[in-house]
């Protein structure tokens, strides 16, 4: 078999390590992500035999260096608001009553209860999101006690970029919703601050839902309108509504969109 190039070898081992990490998670470390296991899987799946001599120094200085790069690869995948969440938001906005302040407030509340709940449920099921949250805690807790500060820095940078991508996407979405419904930030608050705190709340609830079903349990509340059906909420939706209510206000200069 022909000699594999350094770049192709690196990509092959990273993608195989990523597959193992996504299947098994991080546990309490990356000790399960070993070169022998990765080499065996590469041979079984790709028919290519990899030796330690072809990897050490040529691609990675040691196994730990490789493990950090696999983790950085997994967490660098940018989180995204899924199509189903956007669909729920579009549905709510299309049916919104923009003719009154009460209608606009009710629509914002409905978005918090429905779209946010959907987004949190999605994040709680995505393995890459779970691993990213675990990596965030691991890197933060290790502080100066890291045996491989360079590797940790690569993961740190990947996590920062991931969070920035998530923040920018959410800022754009919230900006569109605010313009549509006629909301603005309470001075001196900024939209980025609203996004940061809501994303942090959603991320925490998403990971805890795997341990405490209480976070996913529906909360049934009487409708504020007599004769209307009860309102079903989630903890995530209720929490986001409380944050939004304290940081947002109706824009007195807003003009309703024509379409």
Same domain flag for 43 and 101: no
Closest to 109 measured CA to CA, from 241, 220, 198: 241
Q: Rounded to an integer, what distance in angstroms lies between the CA atom of residue 214 and that of residue 212?
A: 5
- Tens digit of pLDDT for each residue in 218-259? 888 787 667 778 878 888 888 999 999 999 999 999 998 876
Residues 6+ apart with CB under 8 A from 247: 185, 186, 189, 193, 194, 197
- State residue 252's pLDDT score: 95
140 part of a folded domain: yes
Identify which has the larger pLDDT, 2 or 109. 109
HEC sequence for 66-98: HHHHHHHHHHCCCCCCCHHHHHHHHHHHHCCCC
Mode of pairing for the β-strands spanning 219-221 and 248-250? unpaired
pLDDT band of residue 117 (cuts 50, 70, 90) is: confident
20 part of a folded domain: yes
Q: What is the arithmetic mean of pLDDT over 67-93?
A: 89
Closest to 251 measured CA to CA, from 109, 110, 104, 103: 104
- State residue 146's pLDDT score: 54
Q: In sequence order, what are the beta bridge partners of 119?
A: none
The pTM score is 0.82
Same domain flag for 235 and 168: yes
- State residue 142's pLDDT score: 63
pLDDT band of residue 72 (cuts 50, 70, 90) is: very high
Same domain flag for 147 and 51: no
Q: Rounded to an integer, what distance in angstroms lies between the CA atom of residue 233 and that of residue 66?
A: 44
Same domain flag for 120 and 239: yes
- For residue 54, the enclosing domain spans 6-73
Same domain flag for 131 and 215: yes
pLDDT surpassing 70 at residue 1: no
pLDDT band of residue 159 (cuts 50, 70, 90) is: very high
257 part of a folded domain: no
pLDDT surpassing 90 at residue 34: yes
Q: What is the arithmetic mean of pLDDT over 102-125?
A: 88
**Cβ pair 48, 42 in contact under 8 A:** yes
Tally of structural domains, the chain:
2
Same domain flag for 27 and 121: no
Three-state DSSP state, 110:
helix
78 part of a folded domain: no
């Amino acid at each position: 078999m022909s000699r594999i190039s350094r770049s192709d070898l690196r990509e092959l081992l990273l993608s195989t390590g990523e597959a193992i990490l996504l299947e098994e998670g991080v546990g309490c470390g990356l000790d399960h992500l070993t070169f022998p296991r990765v080499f065996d899987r590469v041979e079984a799946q790709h028919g290519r035999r990899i030796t330690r001599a072809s990897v050490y120094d040529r691609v990675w200085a040691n196994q730990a260096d490789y493990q950090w790069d696999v983790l950085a690869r997994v967490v660098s995948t940018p989180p995204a608001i899924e199509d189903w969440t956007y669909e729920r938001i579009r549905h709510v906005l299309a049916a919104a009553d923009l003719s009154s302040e009460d209608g606009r407030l009710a629509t914002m509340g409905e978005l918090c209860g429905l779209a946010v709940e959907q987004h949190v449920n999605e994040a709680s099921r995505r393995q890459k999101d779970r691993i990213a949250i675990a990596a965030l805690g691991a890197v933060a807790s290790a502080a100066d006690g890291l045996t491989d500060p360079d590797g940790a820095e690569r993961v740190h940078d990947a996590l920062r970029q991931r969070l920035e991508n998530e923040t920018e996407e959410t800022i754009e979405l919230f900006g569109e919703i605010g313009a549509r419904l006629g909301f603005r930030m309470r001075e001196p608050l900024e939209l980025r601050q609203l996004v940061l705190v809501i994303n942090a709340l959603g991320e925490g609830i998403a990971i805890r839902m795997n341990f405490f079903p209480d976070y996913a349990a529906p909360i049934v509340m009487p409708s504020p309108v007599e004769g209307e059906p009860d309102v079903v909420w989630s903890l995530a939706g209720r929490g986001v509504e409380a944050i939004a209510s304290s940081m947002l206000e109706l824009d007195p200069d807003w003009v309703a969109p024509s379409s």
